[in-house]
Structure 1
Amino acid sequence: MQQLMEAPAEIKVKTRKFSLHKGIICIGFELEENKGKIRSLKLKQRNAVIDKSYLFSMNTVQKGKTIVYHAELNVNDCHMETAFWDVVASADTGNGEYEDRILGGLSTSLKLKLILFPRWTRTKDGNMVYPFVNGARQFTIQYRKYDSRYDSYRFIAKEFLALFCYFILKPYWDRKKIWLICEKYCTMAQDNGLYFFEYCMKHVPEKERRRIYYVIDKNCPDYKAVKQYEPNVIQFMSFRYMIYLSAAQYLISTDAIRHFYIWDSPNSIYKVLYQARKNIVFLQHGVMGFKQCHRTFHKGGGNQMALFVVSSKFEQKIIHDYFGYDNKEIIITGLARWDVLEDHSNLFHKEILLMPTWRSWLEDISEEQFKKSEYYQRYKEFLQDKRLREFLKKQNITLNFYIHPKFREHIGSFQVEDSNIKLIPFGSMPLNQLLMSCNMLITDYSSVSWDVYYQEKPVVFYPFDLETYENVQGSYMDYKNDVFGDLAWTKDELIDILEEYSESDFKEKKKFAQDREYLLPYRDHDNSKRIYEHIAGADIQGKLKRRLKEKKF
């Protein structure tokens, strides 16, 4: 296993002021001379492909051995992308050379003030800017589109009213012991959350079933997948939902706790209260193997899980060693969606699924920047390759290109005109259907590779940007030696491998099949049953009590 990468460098200061009014960000702070010296301050876009930043105007005053800094920036003068923006200092921390450090040291009192009295500013282009408060005490700004449904003081009043209705009848609501299940952004129903919920609706006794709800925005296409289970489906962000969220015993999800609320909403006491109090059971989005996520889901962080679903002892060791969970908190059950996996591939209608994952350094960038990326250029060249097209036509194979949901708005950029190549927009076809109907998979680092491996189908890995990926994201497995499929580094090598598998009728190679018993021990279609039994039998303390207890040790 790889060693943990170091956290981003930070310089901690003593906060004096952090405000945002009419688009002007004001930051006031102190720093003792022996702890460093700051030459300049800038607002820098996080995970940008190219460096994009804007300088603050800054004044300093010497007070004994302490320097007082006051910096201002008018965001109306900046051409910002939808993203998180960090306040970054050019700092000398003792070696005489200046280097970029993230500004840290947002005080507890100021964090509380921003939560209790949220503030934002609307820009001339219909977007909004606000200070983003999370577990880290860093100065972070969020820039995104204004949403009239939630970005208003009227909505804040709704939050306070929901809290009042919950706390005034708290014993009544708490006795319900509500379970809430959701998937990404409460807009999806096609992953482990859906299949676990379906199991509960079909097999759990009626008395227990009454307390289990699926949360989704009913205007989303995936609502049709759960509509038949009304009234156990609840409208996302309805007043009823906000009360149930306050009362819930467990939140059960494929994603982090923030997905149970408005994504990237301005700070609010409601959001902080539910995130601080609620226990979450993590169904996972996929097997932890090729993508390091311990910084996001570490036990000591804001996304702490009460129970962590895994597929094997191999994966349990990763969660124990990297994420910091005890083995009793890591339940080996297999993934819920595997209960319905069946091999629907057909040699008379051959399909290859091309499904790359996303890149954190390409998230929320413009279409122009995306087209300049190696990611876009590599897949465009592959899809337009003459040899590939001739191979697909000769062998009567359909290549389905399914892009990751975080890049869904870029699917049209590839513009492939070939009857054997289909660009499938996210949400237009259930992913499980594509995984079951394919004869083989091409991916880079996606966890869907485990679903295809589970079905004993061949997987080809195309990690052309492995060096960058390992530096930025990281993997828990040795990519060059431990993956369960062929490795292709160029499009020509990739096409060579496709031709080889076509000649063998897409039969999996023995050298990759031999590790399946160890990597995927549960293939009996009882994964959801095991998950339910673990949750129902769990005796989990309240989240606040658990965290206080852990801090004592």
Structure 2
Amino acid sequence: MEQKDNVTVDLGHQNQKKFYKELETQIRTAKKEKLFLKNTVIQDNNITIEIEGDELSGFDKLELLLSQKNGDILWTETIDFNQVVSGTITVDLNKFVKTFFKSQYSKWSVDILGLKKKESFLFSMKKESKDKEVDLRNKSESLIGYFGDGEFEKVCWCMYGYYNRYNTLLFDVNYKFKSYTQFVQGEVRKVTISGGRIKINAELEDCGMKPIGMIGRRRLTKAVDLNGIKFNCKVKQKDTVTYITGELDLSEFEFTSDYIDIFLLVEKDGFVYDLFLNTKNKRINKKFQKLFRPIHYKIDEENILFPYTTVSSNLAFDCRKIAPYDKFAFRLKERIARVIFRILKKKMEQKNIMLVYEKYCEAAQENGFYFFQYCMENGMEKYMKKEIYFVIDYNSSQYENVKQYGNRVLNYLSIKHMVYLQGAKLLVSSETKSHSYVRRSNATSIRRRLDNTPSVFLQHGVIAFKQLPFMIKSNRNSRTNLFITSSFIEKGIILDKFEYDENEVAVTGLARWDLIEDKSDTCREILLMPTWRRDLEEVSDEEFQESEYFLQYMHLLNSERLYTILEQNNLHLNFYIHPQLRRFIGKFSSTHPNIHLIPFGEEPLNELIMRCSLMITDYSSAIWDVYYQGKPALFYQFDFNEYNYSQGSYFDLETELFGDVSYKQEDLLARIEEMITREFKEKEEYAKLREEYLPYIDHNNRKRTCDAILKAGL
């Protein structure tokens, strides 16, 4: 272990940090190759891989790598060349399982790194097939095995292998019961909510498992019901089908804003497992979207609960605050918009509509706005042969930013917006498609049309300091047709980690950078902008105020030493919290007049970034905007270990940052004083990285983005 400013850093596999650093460098520069497999078997606590051809011959060294899908290497083993000659490579799972228990990761890719003189080659495992383009999404071949030794055996672990849509071999390691859910599911026949009770009718074909009950499990607030929400159940067997009826008295239900997944409880070999309940039945989904009397339950005057179908076509309930779009008037307006679109469909398709929007369709200050502005003011509608519109709530304070563009601005959730959304040929945004319409509605029918609408993802910033596994291409909620990036390093991350193809990722630079300019000469400001934490999004006010995140920043904002620094140097500090945590800004406080707590939307973030002489963050991608301007950056990472474990970074946070890092408040304050002494001049060692990190600083990012869209045929 290495001690660093009171932060413990795990050195990894067999405590060999140098080994892993060299390995990461070799992988980053490796030539990508494919290794086709004849057969793969999990048996007797071993993975056995039979390889085809002589691709692994002639290497000085071969390393088998087991890594999490985000790229973190957690286990390696040197391959015996005798195995290569025989064409069969065997790996002992008992060694691996101990690493797994330590790391707690469950999804793994298996690769082989070949070293030959000064060159390195990274082989991904592919399924042997005469037709290399065969699509396995609907008929994936799975390999399954169980293993364990000593103390681990009692918890029944399972590893199953599968070939993804690209014919690449991947592994999932998890509790034994989770393996069953990959192959067996119950089916929902009916869902009703009446008299304060939920009633679910389901069935299960004979599969060697005995249904014994039904249970709901909260996703975000699991601590409320550690053992799940139990339904009263009746089970009836008829021929080869078991019929299950589950009922829940909602008067006994404890409300939390959350999603609740519903499972069948089944028994097999003395163990109890969870099975998802499938809702692929179209009749069920139509009932969820009824115009009159949709299935829902008002918990009280402010909260509602209703069933819905997940992305994986399973039954779940959404429990949240009541919104305007829960009312009959909204559902009726949506039906009217559908009728209008059907009448005007042919005319709408001729318009070649492109819709641009930002977060929740409330903002006009990000890459979406600057891209739209460029299109309107530089004749891009004619150049791209599209009608281009911006979607925003007219009640938003930022509507004024786009008001001048008249009928090219659509009022969010107006009938016109609904009609044009159905007719759109392309969505362009720094957000996912879900932000273009209501996100958590119990009766919307338009939202599902978005799945088939092509999109361009402009991004908020640079993907570097925060791992985003949900952005992987296979995730239907976040996938896009064109992924905009700022550098070839970032493009490599998208290709390697998110599984996009070369022609689906463009290096253009961010749209907003075309207008960014350093305004710090007339201001003396420091911007403090921490990013969000996944585990704080759904907590109560009390829980947030007990978190290390809140306590650390409150301590900093009320530091006497910070007060002195600001006063003596006539400086102001702006504290801007991430939008994901914006509801907590009122919990922070500071008594010093030179410290300003700025709520989301009160001041444009880009203005704060342009005015500041120095920016301080933990892991926020907004720091790249400051780096783009050649201004200094400082990183304050008091929770380095926890963040690396729970969130992770694609960049090495110890060696690849472009600013000094502090792990303790006193060190941060000392570095602020150093920057003041340097008159906020960036250190040369960080300036030298700019050419590699940001290849385009020429104010042509938006033009390149338009060209990339046309090149992609969108």
Q: Same fold (TM over 0.5)?
A: yes
The residue aligned with 1:258 is 434
Write the distance in 1 (CA, Å) between the matches of 2:488 and 2:572. Answer: 37
Residue deviations 1:497-519 (CA, integer Å, cap 9, x gap): 21222221122222222221111
The letter of the residue matching 1:259 is H
Distance 1:192 1:19, change over 3 A: same
The alpha-carbon deviation at position 365 of structure 1 amounts to 2.6
Higher radius of gyration, 1 or 2: 2
Equivalent residues, number:
534
The alpha-carbon deviation at position 75 of structure 1 amounts to 3.5
Secondary structure of 1:16 counterpart: strand
SS in 2 for 1:482: coil
* Alignment partners' CA distance in 1, 2:609 and 2:224: 38
Aligned to 2:562: 388
Paired with 1:476 and 1:353, the residues of 2 have a C-alpha distance of: 24
Residue type matched to 2:315 in 1?
F
Letter paired with 1:459: A
TM alignment of 1:415-494, pairs within 5 A: 415-494=589-668
Give the 3 Å change call, closer, same or farther, for CA 265–370 of structure 1 in structure 2.
same
Question: Aligned pair 1:82/2:257, yes or no?
Answer: yes
Paired residues of 1:20 and 1:121 also in contact (CA < 8 A): no
CA distance in 2, matches of 1:377, 1:81: 25
In 2, distance between residues paired with 1:537 and 1:456?
A: 32
Aligned mates of 2:240, 2:560 — CA distance in 1: 68
Task: Report what 1:307 is aligned to.
Answer: 482
Matched letter for residue 343 of structure 2: I
Quick one: percent identity of the two aligned structures? 37
Indicate the residue corresponding to 1:500 in structure 2.
674
Contact 1:19–1:27 (8 Å) recurs in 2: yes
- For the structure 1 residues 245 and 193, does the alpha-carbon distance in structure 2 shift closer, same or farther, using more than 3 Å as the test? same
Is it true that 1:414 corresponds to 2:602 in the alignment?
Answer: no
How far did residue 69 of structure 1 move?
4.7
Change (3 A) 1:105 1:313: farther
SS of aligned partner of 2:695: coil
Aligned position for 1:545: none
Task: Kindly provide the amino acid, as one letter, of the partner of residue 276 in structure 1.
Answer: D
Is it true that 1:19 corresponds to 2:191 in the alignment?
A: yes
Shift of 1:447: 0.9
8 Å Cα contact 2:221/2:256 also seen in 1? no
Does the CA-based 8 Å contact 1:282-1:308 persist in structure 2? yes
Residue 583 (structure 2) pairs with residue 518 (structure 1) = no
- Note the 1:161-180 alignment, pairs <5 A: 161-180=336-355
Instruction: Pick one of 40, 46, 57 that aligns with 2:219.
Output: 46
**Matches of 1:198 and 1:205 in 2, distance apart?**
10
CA distance in 1: counterparts of 2:268 and 2:617, whole angstroms:
43
1:132 aligns to what SS in structure 2?
strand
Task: Map Cα deviations across residues 354-382 of structure 1 (whole Å, 9 max, x no partner).
Answer: 11111121113321221122211111111
Q: 1:345 aligns with which of 512, 520, 532?
A: 520
SS in 2 for 1:343: coil
**Pair 1:33–1:210, CA change in 2 (3 A):** closer
Task: Give the aligned partner of residue 362 of structure 2.
Answer: 187
The answer to whether the 8 A contact 1:48-1:361 is kept is no
SS at match of 1:21: strand
Matches within 5 A, 1:369-384: 369-384=543-558
Contact 2:264 2:277 in 1 (8 A): no
1:237-252 correspondence to structure 2 within 5 Å:
237-252=413-428
Residues 1:146 and 2:322 aligned together? yes
Matches within 5 A, 1:64-103: 69-87=244-262
Would the alpha carbon gap of residues 423 and 98 (structure 1) be closer, same or farther in structure 2, given more than 3 Å must change?
farther
Cα displacement (A) at 1:50: 4.8
State which of 333, 358, 369 in structure 2 corresponds to 1:158. 333
**Which of 123-132 and 424-433 deviates more?**
123-132
Task: Name the counterpart of 1:543.
Answer: none
How many angstroms apart in 2 are the aligned matches of 1:82 and 1:135?
19
1:3 positional shift: 2.8
CA 1:48 to 1:488, structure 2 compared with 1: closer, same or farther past 3 Å? farther
- Write out per-residue CA displacement over residues 376-423 of structure 1, whole angstroms, 9 at most, x where no aligned residue: 111111111222222222222211100111221211111211112110
Q: Which amino acid aligns with 1:438?
A: C
In structure 2, what is the equivalent of residue 360 of structure 1?
534
Kindly tell me: are residues 28 and 205 of structure 1, through their superposed partners in 2, closer, same or farther at Cα, counting changes over 3 Å? Answer: closer
TM-score (norm 2): 0.69
Range with bigger deviation, 162-171 or 218-227: 162-171
More helix by share: 1
The equivalent residue for 1:317 is 492
Cα distance in 2 for residues equivalent to 1:267 and 1:463: 43
Q: Counterparts of 2:346 and 2:365 in 1: how far apart (Å)?
A: 34
Give the Cα separation in 1 of the matches to 2:454 and 2:619: 30
- Deviation track 1:159-183 (CA, whole Å, cap 9, x = no partner) reads 2221222122322110000111000
Conserved? CA contact 2:472–2:499, under 8 Å: no
Q: 1:218 is aligned with what amino acid?
A: Y
Q: TM-score, normalised by structure 1?
A: 0.88
Contact kept? 1:363, 1:407, Cα under 8 Å: yes
- The 1-side partners of 2:637 and 2:601 are apart by 25
**Matched residues in 1 for 2:611 and 2:263: separation?**
48
Q: Which runs of 5+ in 1 are unaligned?
A: 541-553
> 1:231 and 2:407 equivalent?
yes
Residue 229 (structure 2) aligned to one of 27, 33, 55: 55
Closer, same or farther: CA 49–495 of 1 in aligned 2, 3 Å: farther
Q: Tell me by how many angstroms 1:73 deviates.
A: 2.6
